[in-house]
Amino acid sequence: MSAFTREVQKKFDAAKENKDLVSYETTEIEKESGGMNFILSLVPALAEKAKAKQDKKEGEEKHNPFLNPNPALVVKELDNHMILLNKFSVTPCHLLIVTKEFKKQTDPILPDELYEAFKTIKDFGSSQPTLAFYNCGPNSGASQGHKHIQVIPLNRDYEFQPPLKQLFDEIYDRQIGQIYAINKLPFVHVIIGLDNNIIRAAKDRESLTNYLAQMFFGILDAMFQQLRENSLPLDTSYNFLMTQDFMMLVPRSKETATIEHKGKQFEFSINSLGFSGSILCKTEEELEALKAQENLMDMLTQVGVAWSPDSEKYDAERQLAEAAELV
């Protein structure tokens, strides 16, 4: 366990004991679907949280928990950001990297934020699988309008963490720095492997920041290209995921997915975690509905963007045009 992990765990335990945060009890099961072992998490307390939000009086001003946060939740203060414990933690030691000044959750990630997120991943240590993610825009599943990146240490009991890594590892003849789309994912996305040799060789903050920014803006441009080929607006919401091995972007069309089970409809709000292969539910009935689904990838396609039948043709035409320019 790294020194940073011990520090975060100590802070988390104290905040939990003093009731400065709520740590939810969860039940997790695995379900293979679409070539990936999804993790389905039953969190009954989420229903209470949702009800509390609905019971708030209309017109009541929404409190911003990231401005002047509870000191018991502050893990580290940075130049322009703070690292906070998530007050409502489904995963223990769930961290939020928030801007000190109010910035919108619709704003794109900046290079210094990529650095802070990746550094936090590394600070948890190489033996601890960790995921950073950013829900950008109104359809991304973001629950707060104040800009924040989330970082969660993952359960080491599962072979693949996050589950998406299972499909990333299956990319044939994968090349570092090459942008890919995974065949088994039926929705628009882009993913790129990170070069650990370059990361290890980066001796200062500027070098690592520049490399991470180059990778991020590369896949951001590739995502916009995919949106053009699928005739979609370029101001769409999206989810960003990052581990120490890869970055991924998924454009979003809406926030909630709907499924049916035994004649009843169920709605699920999906954020970046859904695309990593983790889906939360509030009741046993919802869990049974998820377990009964033939293909959970259909839920992700509902809230993402299905591939256009013509996108491969457009991509081939673009590649031919680029090749012609090089001649």
Helices 205-229 and 311-326: angle between axes, nearest 10 degrees? 120
Using a 10 angstrom Cβ sphere, with 0-12 exposed, 13-18 middle and 19 or more buried, the burial of residue 248 is: buried
- For residue 177, give both structure tokens: 């720095």
* DSSP one-letter code for 306: B
- φ, ψ of residue 123 to 5 degrees: the values are -65, -25
d(CA 209, CA 199): 10
Q: How far apart are CA 241 and CA 278, in angstroms?
A: 13
CA 71 distance to own-chain centroid = 26
Q: Where are the alpha helices (DSSP H) in 190-327?
A: 196-201, 205-229, 272-276, 284-292, 297-303, 311-326
Just list the catalytic residues.
Answer: 148
Give the strands of the sheet with 36-42, arranged side by side. 27-33, 36-42, 278-281
Cα 181 from Cα 159, distance rounded (Å): 22
Q: Per the structure block, which two tokens stand in for 247?
A: 């970055």
Residue 231, Ramachandran bin (φ over 0: left; ψ between -120 and 50: alpha; else beta): left
CA-to-CA dists, residue 195 to 95, 212, 302, angstroms: 25, 10, 32
